[in-house]
Structures are given as C-alpha cells and as structure tokens.
Structure 1
Amino acid sequence: MRRKLFLHIGSHRTATTSIQQFMHENLDRLEAQGILYPLRVARHQRLINKIFAGKLKSDEVAADLSRVADERKDPIKSIVLSDEDISIRDDLSALEGFKEHCDVKILFSMRRQDLWLESWYFQNIKWQWNKALSHCSFDEFMAQREAFHWIHYDRYVRMLENMFGAENILLSVFEKDQMPGGPVVNFCRQIGLTDLQGFSDPPHVNSSMSAEMVEFVRHMPLDQFEPPERDLLRRAFEAVDRTHLGNSGKQSELLMTPRQRRKLLSEYEVGNQAVAKRYFNRDALFLDPPPKSDRPLAKLQIPSDSATLINRIVAPLLVQLVESGTIKGKD
C-alpha cells in the first residue's frame, strides 16, 4: 500500500518542538486515526542524520516504515517524520528516495525574517550547538545572516518544488491570525487530522531566556561541554532567570530598531511577494504589521560592576547548581 509521507522540515522557531512533543504524547491516538508517528521519539533527528550521513538510504527507510505501518492493528493512511534541522541543509537530495515508496508531502513553516532572526539569535546563544554563533554579539550574528539560506523563502521553496513537486509543498505562515487554533492545531490540519477529541492539549515548549540571561550565557563556554552537561547548565540558567531575576513571563526578543527592521524587510520583500502570489494568491506573505516604534527593545546587558554581577546572577547560579544536584558535595 502506497501511503502519504509527511516530512516536517521546519523551520526552527515555528513551534517545531511543541508540535513534536504533541505528536509524541499522542502516538496511540494518532494511530487510531490512521497516522503513524514512528520510532516512539518526539523528533526524528537521529534517523534523518543517518540518512544524510549515508548510513541509511531514504528509499530503504521508506520501505521499512511502510512495513511497520502494514503491521499496525489500525489501518495506517499516512506517516509523519519531523526534524527541523532538515531545513538548514544545503542539499536535500538524500531524501528523494522516500518517493520510491510514498507520496511525499513537505511541510515548511515561515516566520517573518526580522522576527525569526531575533529569535534565532536567542536560541543559538541558549543552546550553543554552533561554535560560529555561540558567542556572537547580535551585530556579529547579523553579519553572518546570509548563511541562513532557508529564510530566502522564494529561493528555498523553489528548490523544494524542483525536488518534490509544487503540488506536494505545504506551506504555513507563522502568524497567529494565519494559524487558527495555534501552530500545533494548524499542523494537525495539514496532515489531515481534524478530530482532536481525546488528545492532550497542545504544549508550548522551548521558550527563550530573557535578554539579560542570554547576554550572560553568551560569555559562558557551553559549547565546550557534551550535550547532557550542557543541558544541565542550561536548565540552571533558566531556573535562575525565572526565580531570581523574575523573568517568568514572555520576554521581549526585539533587538532591531525600526529603521534596521524596515531595511532588513525590504531585502526580503520581493521573494516574499513571489511566495505569497504562488501559494496564497495575494501580494503580502506576512500580514502582521511590524512592531510599533515605541515598543521597548530587549536589553542585552549584564551588570558591569563585578559585585553586582556576582550577587545578581553568579551566586544564585551556584546555589541552583547545588540544589539541583548538578554540583554535588562530598558524602
């Protein structure tokens, strides 16, 4: 039986983690409605990495997934794989083999470039998986933005069209009014899942730290640690940010002045209009207005006085590390 394979490729900062968590929490409910979210993991990063590394072939993976679907007690109509890191790769040809056994549908979500860049900066500092971006100032980060080729949406979507066919590209615009019910519900609609009765509530995960904590973390060598240790430290930073600095609510991620924002958006305008025409039959891709000029910018600042810095962040961080068991004393 030939099934649909929905390949969710990102991009980052468009609720991908929330979508993956929702799918993982509802595996059995999904299968009851004919949707296989395989391998019992939230994100299929390891599988996708093996394909791009040449350790697995996508046509063989598709065949294996089809056999797994055949063995399920409920009739499976479609399979869903999700890994947002797919979108940042230059060459997706390793995935073309999926077409041998499945009707491949590509799901790609687009966030307006100015807001995406600001959010992506915060995430790169928070997670520090890319040494070239882990310790940059925002200006240094912006100087490297042409490396983020996937946010040239017209160019990127045309590449997807050439590889998988325009009829198989499912785009969404990451704006509240363009995602009724939110990004998780919107994703479910795209894969044909409209009845969510009995499903868990859509989660909201992977929010950013405050600008002050981000600036502190920027000077920390998290990229020198293995992921488990890095994750423990990140959790400690987040706890101090919430409980000691009091940043428990939504924090501003605005880093560009209105003039910088206008200039940046003008550089992407033609490409965005082309996508809007082809996929939404309108002139503008993003409908939300830019932030009002009087909205405060996030302040990427930490105390310059050493005593204040220690009392405000360093000492609470040490306490948090000990209390959480990350740092353990002698027995």
Structure 2
Amino acid sequence: MQRKLFLHIGSHRTATTSIQQFMHQNFEPLKTQGIFYPLRVPRHIRLMNEIFSGRDKAGDVAISLSRRADNQPEDIHTLVLSDEDVSMRRDLRALVPFTERFDVKIIYSMRRQDLWLESWYFQNIKWQWNPALSHCTFEEFLQQRDAFHWIHYDRFVRHLEDLFGAENLILNVFEKQQMPEGPVVAFCNSIGLTDLTGFPPPPHVNSSMSAEMVEFVRHMPLDSLEPPERDLLRRALEQVDRDILGHTGKQSEQLLPRDLREAILAEYAEGNAAIARRYFDRETLFLDPLPAADAPLAKLEIPQDSATLMQRFVAPLLQQLVANGTISAANKAAPQQDRT
C-alpha cells in the first residue's frame, strides 16, 4: 500500500512553530502510531531549500525518505514534512515528483488577512530576516502587502489544485471556533492522528513581542547580525519585554482601525468567498467577528526623550545581556597590538 506524505506548507502565523515542536518532540510516540516525522529536526526548511534551489530533487528525496521509513522498527504508513516558507514560493512544481512515490496531501492553514498582516508585521520586526521589512513602519509595511501573494488564498489554492488536485488539499481555517481544540490538535486530525491519549499537551511557542518592544526593535540593526548573535540579542529583548516591562500575557497585535480593516478585507473578499464555496460549502470563509469598532489598538510607541528611553529600554537590555552571559569578561577580546 502506498504511503501517505503530508506536506505542511504554512501559512505563517498559524501556529506552525508549535506544530513543528509537537511533531519533533513526539518523534518516538508518533512512530508507534505509524507516523514518521523524519530527519530529527522541528522544521524541514533546509530540505525544502535544497529542493527549490535545484541542489536536490524531490524524486531523490522521496527515495531517501522511503528508505528511512523502511528502516524503522514500526510499521510506517504516513510521513510528514513541514516548512511554512514553502507557501512564499510562487511555483511549487518542484514538489510534484513526490507524487511518484507517495500519496501526497497538502496541508495549508488560512488566517484572516487583516489579522495575518498585523501578526506578520510583528514577526518581521522581531526576526528581521528580510531587510526590506525589518525597519519599516506599519503603514509602509501595508503598502507592500501585494507582495504577500500566498494570502490571496483563492489564487494560491488554484496553483495547488493545478499541481496536486483539489482532492489532495486539506485546507484549515485558523480561527478559534473552527479549531475548537486548538491548531495543533486540528493539525493532528488532518494527518489522521485523532487519539492523542498519552501525548503531552500541545506547546505554544513563537509568541509576539509587545507593541512597544516591537517599535524599539524596529530601530535596531538585528538584520545586520549573524543568526547566532541575532538570537542572543532577541532572547534578551524578549526577557526585558516580559520581566522588566511586564508584558507577560498574550500581546495585542491589533493595529488596524476599523475602517482600514474593512477596506483591506474587501480586497480579499471575492477570493475568500470562492474558497468558502469550493471547500466548505458556504459563503463565508472566516466566521469570527471583527474586533469592536472601539477596541483599543496596540501602540507602536517608544519614549521620545532620551533619558526615559535609556531608563526603560537600553539600560535593562544591557543588564539582561550581562545576566545572560552574552556580555562577559570571559568574552574579552585579545588586546590589540600597539601600531604606533
């Protein structure tokens, strides 16, 4: 019997990191259920980058994955690969050769576009992997939203249908009432894992910083640092945000006033309705109500006077870097030679 291969391709900001951590941390228990999450990594970004760069081919990867599955002591009937960056690519034909060896199913989760844009802005500032989006204001960010082609869900799904067939697409809607047990459980249901008895509670990771910390980070050159140094600095910033600034709960990402929110959603309304009709037999894709018109917005603001800025952000950050050992006498550079 042909094995199934689930390709989880995003989108971002739909609990992908939590899903990946759950799958990675439960590598052995999943195998007892016949599910193989290969390569011992949380996220298969390197593998996907190799395929899309042409350095590797999906057909060859499929053979390798099949051998790995064959070598497991358990009877493996399902494999799962996960990388949300796949959805950012305009042409996914490089993945089609997987269908020669596996019964391929594509899992894609959709978040309402207004909420997705707000969350995506916070993440781009926090991680700063894209210099074009690392330091822009929210208004400047919104002006670039046409570049986020993968949240034009109807167009994106049409491409998936052309490659894999509509019958092989599993579309999930990232909303509380449509994922009543949470996104990790919804994902497990999508891959056929419906009994989670004995599994630990699903994790929640990759939360956003507060709005004021995001605005502070926007002015910092994290994108100019190497990833290890960037991670150390970001960790310290998150600690200051939580422990010093007191932002301990889930942070509000609401940035859009009601009129602009409605205008943005109108741009996607026709495509969303098309998806709702084709896959959910209804007219409305997203069911959760919009935030109240008078709901307070998160404030992307930092102190304008230097003394308050130093006291609230800079000094605590330096203290945290020392406390973490990032700034330490043990890291003292070798003395420079006298060049006189």
User: Which bracket does the TM-score occupy, shorter chain normalised?
Assistant: over 0.9
Q: Does 1:130 align with 2:130?
A: yes
Residue deviations 1:150-173, cap 9 Å, x none? Answer: 000001001000000000000000
Q: Which runs of 5 or more structure 1 residues have no equivalent in the other structure?
A: none
Q: Does 1:324 align with 2:312?
A: no
1:72 to partner: Cα distance: 1.2
Alpha-carbon distance between aligned partners in 2 of 1:31 and 1:250, rounded to the nearest angstrom: 33
Alpha-carbon distance between aligned partners in 1 of 2:310 and 2:132, rounded to the nearest angstrom: 28
Alpha-carbon distance between aligned partners in 2 of 1:278 and 1:91, rounded to the nearest angstrom: 22
Alpha-carbon distance between aligned partners in 1 of 2:199 and 2:38, rounded to the nearest angstrom: 18
The equivalent residue for 2:253 is 253
Q: Does 1:55 align with 2:55?
A: yes
Alpha-carbon distance between aligned partners in 1 of 2:198 and 2:28, rounded to the nearest angstrom: 11
Alpha-carbon distance between aligned partners in 1 of 2:130 and 2:81, rounded to the nearest angstrom: 24
Residue deviations 1:188-227, cap 9 Å, x none? Answer: 0000001111112100000000000000000000000111
Matches within 5 A, 1:168-317: 168-317=168-317
Residue deviations 1:42-95, cap 9 Å, x none? Answer: 101111111111111001101111111112111111100000000001111111
TM-score normalised per structure 2: 0.96
The equivalent residue for 1:65 is 65
1:295 to partner: Cα distance: 1.1
Preserved contact between residue 272 and residue 285 of structure 1 (Cα < 8 Å)? yes
Q: Residue 133 of structure 1 aligns to a residue in which SS?
A: helix
Preserved contact between residue 10 and residue 107 of structure 1 (Cα < 8 Å)? yes
Q: Which moved more, 1:46-55 or 1:120-129?
A: 46-55
Question: RMSD of the TM alignment (CA)?
Answer: 0.8
Q: Residue 198 of structure 1 aligns to a residue in which SS?
A: coil
Alpha-carbon distance between aligned partners in 2 of 1:265 and 1:249, rounded to the nearest angstrom: 28
Preserved contact between residue 9 and residue 108 of structure 1 (Cα < 8 Å)? yes
Q: Does 1:158 align with 2:158?
A: yes
Q: Residue 49 of structure 1 aligns to a residue in which SS?
A: helix
Give the letter for the 1:193 counterpart: L
The equivalent residue for 1:144 is 144
Residue deviations 1:24-58, cap 9 Å, x none? Answer: 11111110000000001110111111111111100
Alpha-carbon distance between aligned partners in 2 of 1:152 and 1:197, rounded to the nearest angstrom: 37
Q: Which runs of 5 or more structure 2 residues have no equivalent in the other structure?
A: 333-340
Alpha-carbon distance between aligned partners in 2 of 1:63 and 1:251, rounded to the nearest angstrom: 44
Q: Residue 209 of structure 1 aligns to a residue in which SS?
A: coil
TM-score normalised per structure 1: 0.99
Alpha-carbon distance between aligned partners in 1 of 2:93 and 2:272, rounded to the nearest angstrom: 25
Give the letter for the 1:233 counterpart: L
1:329 to partner: Cα distance: 2.3
Alpha-carbon distance between aligned partners in 2 of 1:307 and 1:107, rounded to the nearest angstrom: 50
Residue deviations 1:115-147, cap 9 Å, x none? Answer: 000000000000000000000000100000000
Q: Residue 299 of structure 1 aligns to a residue in which SS?
A: coil
The equivalent residue for 1:115 is 115
Residue deviations 1:223-252, cap 9 Å, x none? Answer: 001111101100000000011111111111
Give the letter for the 1:59 counterpart: G
Alpha-carbon distance between aligned partners in 1 of 2:201 and 2:80, rounded to the nearest angstrom: 19
1:299 to partner: Cα distance: 0.3
Give the letter for the 2:115 counterpart: L
Give the letter for the 1:148 counterpart: F
Preserved contact between residue 25 and residue 200 of structure 1 (Cα < 8 Å)? no
Alpha-carbon distance between aligned partners in 1 of 2:89 and 2:233, rounded to the nearest angstrom: 28
Q: Residue 170 of structure 1 aligns to a residue in which SS?
A: strand
Q: Residue 243 of structure 1 aligns to a residue in which SS?
A: helix
1:281 to partner: Cα distance: 0.1
Give the letter for the 2:87 counterpart: S
- Structure 1: 4+ residue segments shifted above 2 A: none
The equivalent residue for 2:28 is 28
Alpha-carbon distance between aligned partners in 2 of 1:32 and 1:278, rounded to the nearest angstrom: 35
Give the letter for the 1:320 counterpart: Q
Give the letter for the 1:250 counterpart: K
Give the letter for the 1:66 counterpart: S
Q: Does 1:18 align with 2:18?
A: yes
Give the letter for the 1:216 counterpart: F
Alpha-carbon distance between aligned partners in 2 of 1:46 and 1:299, rounded to the nearest angstrom: 36
